[in-house]
Structures are given as C-alpha cells and as structure tokens.
A and B are shown apart, each in its own frame.
Chain A
Amino acid sequence: DVKVTQSSRYLVKRTGEKVFLECVQDMDHENMFWYRQDPGLGLRLIYFSYDVKMKEKGDIPEGYSVSREKKERFSLILESASTNQTSMYLCASSIGQGLDNSPLHFGNGTRLTVT
C-alpha cells in the first residue's frame, strides 16, 4: 500500500513565523501535491511537483512556497504565517510517469492554527 506521511497532525504557530510542513511518500511517485481544505471552499490546490526540483503553482500559491530536493519528500513553506492560513493542509501523491490514470493518495493531513 502507498503510504503518504505528513510529519505533524496538529501545529500551532504565531503570526509572522516561518512554517514548514513536511510530506514523504514511500512509493517512488513522481507527482506530489499540496492542498488546503476549508469549510465551504473544499480542496484547493496550492502547489504541485512533477519531479525533483520541479514545481508549479496551483490555484492559490500566494503566501506559500515549496521545496522538492528529493523525490520522496515535498515540503510546503509558509514564509510569514498569517491567520488566514489557518486550515487543514493535505499532501497527496500519484505515480506520474505519463500514467494519467493513476489514483491520488493522500496523507492524514496537518491541522495548522495561526494565532
């Protein structure tokens, strides 16, 4: 089974802090994604990556950056956390390799609260 692991289930940070959310997958997947999920707004794509050191903006990249130095790890960075970034953050991965029919696998999520 594919395992997507997010390093923290719950985080509480202060406004202005730099925040790192880590995600690791163990199935050699090429594609990795970061979403945020908010009541009434559903899942929104922040950033995604098709390969090491490669990244593309999703629908709401403002205030975020990402890093993918190794294939298995995809980090989401909040450069200066703000209260409107309080949310559930979900990491996901899929095979890629041109196999567009591959399923998406999610981690358990990180509930981030910015005070």
Chain B
Amino acid sequence: KQEVTQIPAALSVPEGENLVLNCSFTDSAIYNLQWFRQDPGKGLTSLLLIQSSQREQTSGRLNASLDKSSGRSTLYIAASQPGDSATYLCAVCNFNKFYFGSGTKLNVKP
C-alpha cells in the first residue's frame, strides 16, 4: 500500500524567507501528485498538480517538483508571507485513489 510522508510536521519561519516542504512516497507508480493548502477548520484547496510525466509546476510564488524514481516531491515557497500560514498536504494518485501525507503546519511570523 502506498505510504506518504511529509517532513517536517511543523515549521516556523520569519516573513520573507524562502522555504521548502518535503513529501515522499513509497510506490513510484503514480499518475500524479497534488499539493494542497488547508486553513484551520476548512477544506483542502488545490495548489499545484504535477503529472507523472512532468518534473515541476509553478504558480506564482509556489514551485513544486517531482522525482518519481526517488519517490520525492518538494514544494518551494518564495518570499513567504504571514498569509501563507496554513497546513500543506501532498497527495499521490494511484489508479484513481488518492493517498495523503499528514501535512506540514507552516507558521510565517510577521
């Protein structure tokens, strides 16, 4: 069964820092990998989706990379802002089933 791990579980940085969140998975036979943001008490908002044939995707200050062979993805956030404070989850898709990591809780201090 696919296992998805996110490290670190929590991260606190000062405003303006660039940061990297990590996601690893055990089965490289994935269709895609998706990064989500979750604010407290809310649902998940999709940030980026990387298809299995792609190496990276960018949206604004966010850049996600995918290395299928090593079972890793990173989410890079440039010039972090307090509004980026949230929990970030990654999910991998195998045969229309999605497997989630436990998330990284990010706190960006003003």
Q: A and B: partners?
A: yes
CB distance from A90 to the nearest CB of B (A): 6
Residue B63 interfacial (CB < 8 Å): no
Assembled-state Cα–Cα distance A109/B42 (Å): 6
Q: Given A101-B31, A104-B91, do A50 and B96 touch, yes or no (CB 8 Å)?
A: yes
In the complex, which residues of chain B have a beta carbon less than 8 angstroms from the beta carbon of A62?
Answer: none
Assembled-state Cα–Cα distance A6/B41 (Å): 14
Q: Given A42-B100, A48-B97, do A103 and B46 touch, yes or no (CB 8 Å)?
A: yes
In the complex, which residues of chain A have a beta carbon less than 8 angstroms from the beta carbon of B101?
Answer: 42
CB distance from B19 to the nearest CB of A (A): 21
The answer to whether A106 and B43 have CB atoms under 8 Å apart is yes
The answer to whether A103 and B42 have CB atoms under 8 Å apart is no
* Option from A33, A50, A88, A111 in Cβ contact (under 8 Å) with B98: A33
The answer to whether A103 and B96 have CB atoms under 8 Å apart is no
The answer to whether A101 and B32 have CB atoms under 8 Å apart is yes
The answer to whether A105 and B31 have CB atoms under 8 Å apart is no
The answer to whether A101 and B49 have CB atoms under 8 Å apart is yes
B54-98 near A? 1/0 per residue, CB < 8 Å? 000000000000000000000000000000000001010101111
Q: Given A31-B96, A43-B100, A45-B97, do A103 and B43 touch, yes or no (CB 8 Å)?
A: no
- Specify the chain B residue showing the minimal Cβ separation from A31: B96
The answer to whether B103 and A109 have CB atoms under 8 Å apart is no
Q: Which 6 A-B pairs have the closest CB atoms?
A: A106-B43, A100-B31, A106-B44, A43-B100, A42-B102, A108-B43
List 17 contacting pairs A-B, 8 Å CB cutoff, sorted by A: A31-B96, A42-B100, A42-B101, A42-B103, A48-B96, A88-B41, A94-B96, A100-B95, A101-B31, A101-B93, A103-B32, A104-B34, A104-B93, A105-B46, A108-B42, A109-B42, A111-B41
